[in-house]
């Protein structure tokens, strides 16, 4: 099962302390070595972001920053794990590092399962189509 974990916090939490970054490096290295982590990264501030929205039949483009944003997604990680419980444990370890090395940090990690075409039995034709496209691309 694949899971995306999104770290949410206020717009400008400040730079993470070096001790947190060092602890996160060790955690990422461990997760990569055990094969559970597929990808991870931090995201640019909303001031460097753009939103493309469709509403009432119109597509609009808005450049950041977005003043209405109370919390933003500051980073993510994608894992391949056996269960949601395992994902929960990974998230708790990650947030524990924040508590330990950046006590004034306030935020959360949201865990979401990632679904692919194979997860939708009613969409067999779509899954076959995606597989054909993957085969052509390789």
User: What domains appear along the chain, each with residue ranges and CATH number?
Assistant: 2-137 (3.30.70.1060)
Tokens of 13: 């939490």
CB–CB of 7/115 below 8 Å?
A: no
Distance, CA of 85 to CA of 66 (rounded, Å): 34
- Interval 109-129: pLDDT, tens: 999 999 987 776 665 677 677
Confidence of residue 137 (pLDDT cuts 50, 70, 90): confident
Q: Supply the pTM of this predicted model.
A: 0.81
Q: In whole angstroms, give the CA distance from residue 33 to residue 118.
A: 27
In terms of Cα–Cα distance, which of 1, 42, 11 is closest to 24?
42
Nearest to 95 by CA among 110, 109, 85: 109
Both tokens of residue 115?
């679904």
pLDDT tens across 61-70, in order? 999 888 776 7
């Amino acid at each position: 099962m694949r899971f995306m974990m999104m770290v949410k916090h206020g717009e400008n939490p400040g730079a993470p302390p070096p001790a947190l970054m060092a602890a996160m490096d060790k955690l990422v290295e461990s997760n990569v070595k055990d094969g559970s982590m597929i990808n991870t990264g931090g995201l640019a501030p909303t001031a460097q972001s753009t939103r493309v929205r469709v509403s009432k039949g119109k597509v609009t483009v808005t450049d950041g920053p977005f003043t209405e944003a109370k919390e933003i997604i500051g980073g993510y990680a994608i894992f391949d794990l056996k269960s949601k419980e395992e994902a929960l444990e990974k998230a708790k370890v990650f947030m524990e590092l924040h508590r330990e090395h950046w006590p004034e940090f306030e935020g959360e990690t949201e865990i979401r399962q990632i679904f692919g075409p194979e997860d939708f039995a009613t969409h067999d034709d779509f899954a076959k189509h995606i597989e054909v496209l993957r085969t052509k691309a390789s």
